[in-house]
Amino acid sequence: MATKPRTVICIGDIHGHISKLNKLWLNLQSVLTPSEFTTALVIFLGDYCDRGPETRKVIDFLISLPEKHPEQRHVFLAGNHDFAFAGFMGLLPRPLDGSKLKDTWNEFEANEEREGWYKGPGFEDMHVQGRRWGGKIRDRFATVGVEYIGSIYDAGTTFESYGVPHGSSDLMEAVPESHKKFLTNMVWVHEEEDVFVETEDGLKQCKLIAVHAGLDKWKSVNHQLKLLRDKDTSISKIQPLSGRKDVWNMPQELDDKHTVVVSGHHGKLHVDGLRLIIDESGGYDYNPLAAIILPSKKIIRDTDIFSN
């Protein structure tokens, strides 16, 4: 008898919403059999911080999972918000080409004043996204119908969850060592062989690539995967972590019907063949937090109510 395909759970952007995460986790336990849940591969698609009120509690929850569920496998992808948080904290690796992290400022320096980049202790050796994350947005910048919570990244709530004011260098001391380790160890991409997915043609065995925003359809997939595996911080804006239109669709190079690309980031729930975008909440209070279960492609939300 063939072995039953393993269960893979991909969880969308949490953005500091611990109550939603707790409810979603309980719902996943309810809908899966005990053996499916206990042995699942669980991929968190990134953006654990900002917007919602409890970044600290979210990271505590994620850190606790390996001990609470030792038979599960857990993958923690870096989202663009988490990358920027790590950048502010000085936890990113050095650029591979020998350049300095401050060289990443050059591409966006025209935006420094209006985005209010961070200029406090440690800024001289900070990736541009860390400076944008920790900075204080100028009021006049919020003229396009968007209200920012502190910075361009809505990072104010993350500072507050650790008990320090937005933009304060005290965050560097307030974040526990276990959280710093978590931010340091996040992966930028996860590749998994032999994942099964239900398709119109039946159950299909695929390779799965999970990356926060998706893969740039205009660039070599192998080149992008190498950059992501290597965590190349010489780049000022990493498209697979923070891009929009260019990373929405499946790269033509992978349109072979045997590769699943799953991401969060886009503030949408979008299931199109083997291109999966799981970010129904976008980090906002009024939207549900969603996950997708493979092989079935069943969507589970924190708002679901399952009868006993």
DSSP 177-226: HHHHHHHHH-BS-EEEEEEEEEETTEEEEEEEEE-SS---TTS-HHHHHH
* Known active-site residue 81: yes
| Selected catalytic residue, list 15, 17, 81, 212 | 81
User: At 233, phi and psi to the nearest 5?
Assistant: -90, 10
Category of 228 on φ-ψ map: left (φ > 0), alpha (ψ -120 to 50) or beta: alpha
Burial status of residue 77 (CB atoms within 10 A of its CB: 0-12, 13-18, 19 or more): buried
Cβ 1 vs Cβ 35: under 8 Å: no
**Helix H or strand E segment including 270:** strand 269-272
N- to C-terminal Cα separation, the chain = 32
Q: Which amino acid is at 8?
A: V
Enumerate the β-bridge partners of residue 261: 209, 275
Sheet with 269-272, strands from edge to edge, namely: 190-199, 202-210, 259-263, 275-278, 269-272
d(CA 222, CA 93): 21
Residues tagged active-site:
81
